[in-house]
Amino acid sequence: MTNLPVTQTFADFIAAATWDGLPESVQQAARRTFGNCVALAVGASQSDPVRRVGRSLAGLGQPEHASILGHETRTGVEAAALVNGFAAHLEDFDDTHLRTVVHPGAPIVPAALALAEYKGLDGRAMLTAIAVGIEVALRFGNGICPEHFDRGWHLTGTAGHVGAAAAAGRVVGLKPEQLVVAIGLGATTASGLTAALGTMTKPYHPGKAAADGVQAALLAADGFTGPPQPIEGRRGLAQLSSSRHDFDTMLDGLGDVWEIEANAFKPYACGIVSHAVIDAAIALREQVADGVELTHVEIEVNPVVLDVMGVKNPVDGLGTKFSVYHCFAIGFLEGLGGPEQFGDSRARRADVVSLRDRVRVTTDARIPKGAAHVVAHLAGGQSSVEIEVPNATGSAERPMSDEQLREKARLVASPVLGQDLDHFLDIAFTIDEHDPAALLALATSAAR
Amino acid sequence: MTNLPVTQTFADFIAAATWDGLPESVQQAARRTFGNCVALAVGASQSDPVRRVGRSLAGLGQPEHASILGHETRTGVEAAALVNGFAAHLEDFDDTHLRTVVHPGAPIVPAALALAEYKGLDGRAMLTAIAVGIEVALRFGNGICPEHFDRGWHLTGTAGHVGAAAAAGRVVGLKPEQLVVAIGLGATTASGLTAALGTMTKPYHPGKAAADGVQAALLAADGFTGPPQPIEGRRGLAQLSSSRHDFDTMLDGLGDVWEIEANAFKPYACGIVSHAVIDAAIALREQVADGVELTHVEIEVNPVVLDVMGVKNPVDGLGTKFSVYHCFAIGFLEGLGGPEQFGDSRARRADVVSLRDRVRVTTDARIPKGAAHVVAHLAGGQSSVEIEVPNATGSAERPMSDEQLREKARLVASPVLGQDLDHFLDIAFTIDEHDPAALLALATSAAR
């Protein structure tokens, strides 16, 4: 609890923001987050889990109000937000704010997109809402991390709920006092267990956050009432869900320092904390002659890596995304870490399984989260090779360039979009100059 | 964390239950819970908050699949579950499991009812699902209370989510392994801040639990995957949300000892922990001659009373429901504690405000939660009157009889149902012998 009016300050900030008032670096961060998110949702749209979720919700009967990316059939606004949020996070290939391990795109972009489509907003107004919703989610996360995460909460679900409600509230034009109610509804529905990692329930978290955010905004628009301090109050979300609740950190420099600028993009389709291990494996591959076997591999990382990525013997694609052992194996064997390297077939391939079994991981809290130290022992002449990766590709220190990010988006969306791909990417990464309807027309044409 | 397979045991229990296998006392407890819940939802159906929620959800576009009690227009299954759950809890006049302070009817009955209507289940199958869903919710609550509540979680939202998913899963006929997934979805969406007490966001919690339970059941029916131990696992809901997690208590005597039998019904339309104070005020009213003023009143109660009911100067009806001061005042001035005594007009009436100001409340942890000790100091001759209430009306020790409960249901539903009232009550309290459609035809006729 605090005397700082955290929720009210967030609400005023959300209501007052304008696109032209955002620094160019923030505008570009928002464009990148949007483009990456919708490309991933399109890319995963034909997968079995996304089809299942869409089918289950369709079974409840849906009006044709909003688009599911990659599908021609329209659905309800909440359902569209849910399916798109689920799809965007399914491959664990989305954006990450490393300090909080929030993936802000998947819960927040689909909420704003579905409502913007339904309400006929232009791209600029929608992207403004996304920028401020993400900012609120990440700042909330900054104030409760890492204790909130350590307790077992999946921040993309919890902080995602707060941010999705904030963004959706801005899309429907809520006044500050209504935004307090919407944020309160986001906080009171905030949820998500990290026990769900490696199952379909994990990407359900941002999907649910997006859908609940839509509902929060619509209720708040019609005179709903809620607690005045849902985040910072005595029984607000911060106190309930974390032993640390630093409200100064949540508000420090709001509007001047933008957390969305620290939103990083993944070059590899798995948990971000092992990206340095893949970088190391790829570097190692370049140093070891073809045909030379690795007898065993020692990897040293921060303890969070084994916490999140500790699956020793994954049996399916989803499981491999949480296996640092698998990350090393595919990086070394293939030099890549895309969705294919984390698919079901790779999980059981003999050479992958065999190499995973030769990897030993130890942890040291002094090693930064984004770093890795790898020593590979070789069969034959050369005794061992040592690789040090201080910062992973895609980290805040080594961010993907705009070109790299577009290339990644192209890679994930191309199996679905075909000839519309370039036009789709042009609009996705400059959505502030377009109507969301133009993007959605392309993104739903695949099924036609 | 534990070696007990809590979730799996719950799942097996839910799948195996049959109506005829339930003890008669459990069957009757289920009938009472159902009848009380639907009568309250009907009674609140014409209120402004319920109309607002219905309108907001209708604004998203809804198929006509399920009934909103007290309204002719049908809506989507999730929306019906949400509105009915919201309405049932709105007046804080519903059922309470005192050990956990879970109100199990509002999150669980509407989930089962909306799905049963949609799927065409008979009343017996539906009530079986409600009985086992409630049992799971209350047993989960028993294992994490009171620490979970003390931390600030609203159990009707959290345990309600688990129970609603369980009941909805049974309605759609899930197999045990699918029920584990449904319970996991209930656990991963479990939420609700007690910061919301006294606002519309509080009854939103059971409404949301009901709606999320419906969605959980439908996803689990179509091959969704989730964590194997969402309740008891290392990062399961119990560990995340409470410092106490007693898994033995959750499972002890499952199927032999039924917590639903300890589900109590409120004679007064406010937080159950001050019911003894209203009993005391009514008893005092009978002992004090007309016209004699109370100069001041001292009330001693368990600390939980001020925790939950500490609003000193409520300004509207919702606020009065969380004011032990108001409870005393209306009990003494009117001898009643129905919805009218907790309405907006009473919150500001001069005689009520004046008497509230003369009430002082102190707490003592040795006083049981359901008890109250009141000393009233009188103006004029008689110096003081002392009243001791060891157990409130409606408590497990002094439960409402079937006749009292039906009379209460009649009182709350009569402003809406008119001539159909008795027929509605006949069916509501024997729903195991009827089709839900018959009940809903009566409960939705008000608007015709």
* Mean pLDDT along residues A278-293: 92
Query: What Cα–Cα distance (Å) separates residue A431 from each residue in A24, A355, B75, B189, B255?
Result: 14, 43, 35, 32, 57
- Give the separation between CA B430 and CA B415, rounded to whole angstroms: 22
| A218 and B CB contact within 8 Å | yes
Q: Do A60 and B62 touch (CB under 8 A)?
A: no
Among B residues 326-365, those touching chain A with beta carbons less than 8 Å apart: none
Closest residue to B188, CB basis, from A193, A239, A240: A193
Query: pLDDT grade, residue B444 (50/70/90)?
Result: confident
Work out the minimum CA distance from A424 to partner chain B, whole angstroms: 28
- Residue B362's CB: how many other CB atoms inside 10 A? 12
Work out the minimum CA distance from B255 to partner chain A, whole angstroms: 28
Q: Residue A376 — φ and ψ, nearest 5°?
A: -110, 130
Residue appearing with tokens 């959750």: B250
Q: What's the confidence (pLDDT) of residue B98?
A: 85
Q: Model confidence over A320-329: pLDDT tens digits? A: 999 999 999 9
- Give the separation between CA A27 and CA A47, rounded to whole angstroms: 31
CA angle A286, A292, A297 (to 5 degrees): 75
Closest residue to B195, CB basis, from A193, A204, A233: A233
Pairing of strands B359-363, B294-301: parallel
Q: Model confidence over B222-236: pLDDT tens digits? A: 999 999 999 999 999
Q: Model confidence over B240-282: pLDDT tens digits? A: 999 999 999 999 999 999 999 999 998 998 888 899 999 999 9
| A155 and B CB contact within 8 Å | no
- Give the separation between CA A41 and CA A38, rounded to whole angstroms: 5
Q: What's the confidence (pLDDT) of residue B284?
A: 96
Query: pLDDT grade, residue A176 (50/70/90)?
Result: very high
Q: What's the confidence (pLDDT) of residue A418?
A: 87
- Give the separation between CA B228 and CA B7, rounded to whole angstroms: 8
Q: Give helix then strand counts, H and E, for chain A.
A: 21, 8
Query: pLDDT grade, residue A49 (50/70/90)?
Result: very high
| A192 and B CB contact within 8 Å | yes
Q: Do B77 and A63 touch (CB under 8 A)?
A: no
Closest residue to B235, CB basis, from A195, A199, A201: A195
In this model, does residue A447 exceed pLDDT 70? Answer: no
Sign (positive or negative) of CA dihedral B147, B153, B158, B160: positive
* Mean pLDDT along residues B194-199: 93
Cα torsion for A280, A286, A291, A294, to the nearest 10°?
-20
In this model, does residue A448 exceed pLDDT 50? Answer: no
Q: Model confidence over B82-106: pLDDT tens digits? A: 999 999 999 889 999 989 999 999 9
Residue appearing with tokens 């619509």: A218
Q: What's the confidence (pLDDT) of residue B380?
A: 77
- Give the separation between CA B5 and CA B11, rounded to whole angstroms: 10
| A52 and B CB contact within 8 Å | yes
Q: Residue B336 — φ and ψ, nearest 5°?
A: -140, 160
**B172 Cβ partners below 8 Å, 6+ apart?**
B115, B119, B217, B218, B221
How many angstroms from the chain centroid is the CA of residue A36?
10
Closest chain A residue to the Cα of B227, Cα to Cα:
A196
Q: Do B193 and A193 touch (CB under 8 A)?
A: no
Residue A266 burial (C-beta neighbours within 10 Å; 0-12, 13-18, 19+): buried
Q: What's the confidence (pLDDT) of residue A340?
A: 85
Work out the minimum CA distance from B186 to partner chain A, whole angstroms: 10
- With beta carbons under 8 A apart, name residues in chain A contacting B78: 60
Q: What's the confidence (pLDDT) of residue B446?
A: 60
Closest residue to B61, CB basis, from A65, A201, A240: A65
| B441 and A CB contact within 8 Å | no
Which secondary-structure segment (H or E) carries B334? Answer: helix B324-334
Note the helical H segments in A379-435: 402-417, 421-428
Selection from B19, B17, B10 nearest residue B179 by Cα: B10
Q: What's the confidence (pLDDT) of residue B381?
A: 66
Query: pLDDT grade, residue A1 (50/70/90)?
Result: low
| A193 and B CB contact within 8 Å | yes
Selection from B338, B316, B332, B320 nearest residue B414 by Cα: B338
| A279 and B CB contact within 8 Å | no
Selection from B286, B281, B301, B310 nearest residue B393 by Cα: B281
Interface test with A, best of B193, B229, B308 (most A CBs within 10 A): B193
* Mean pLDDT along residues A334-362: 94
Sign (positive or negative) of CA dihedral B263, B266, B270, B271: negative
In this model, does residue B448 exceed pLDDT 50? Answer: no
- Give the separation between CA A239 and CA A237, rounded to whole angstroms: 6
| B119 and A CB contact within 8 Å | no
Q: Do A184 and B200 touch (CB under 8 A)?
A: no
- Please report, as a single letter, which amino acid is at residue B36: N
Q: How many Cβ pairs within 8 Å bridge chains A and B?
A: 179
Tokens of B266: 């409120």
- Residue B4's CB: how many other CB atoms inside 10 A? 15
Query: pLDDT grade, residue B318 (50/70/90)?
Result: confident
| A291 and B CB contact within 8 Å | no
Work out the minimum CA distance from A377 to partner chain B, whole angstroms: 35
Note the helical H segments in A145-246: 147-151, 155-171, 176-188, 201-220, 237-241
- Give the separation between CA A166 and CA B187, rounded to whole angstroms: 24
- With beta carbons under 8 A apart, name residues in chain A contacting B1: none
- Give the separation between CA A267 and CA A403, rounded to whole angstroms: 12
Among A residues 293-322, those touching chain B with beta carbons less than 8 Å apart: 318
In this model, does residue A279 exceed pLDDT 50? Answer: yes
Closest residue to B193, CB basis, from A181, A208, A227: A227
> Largest alpha-carbon pair distance within chain A?
75
**A296 Cβ partners below 8 Å, 6+ apart?**
A358, A359, A360, A377
| A184 in Cβ contact with A238 (< 8 Å) | no
Pairing of strands A263-265, B359-363: unpaired
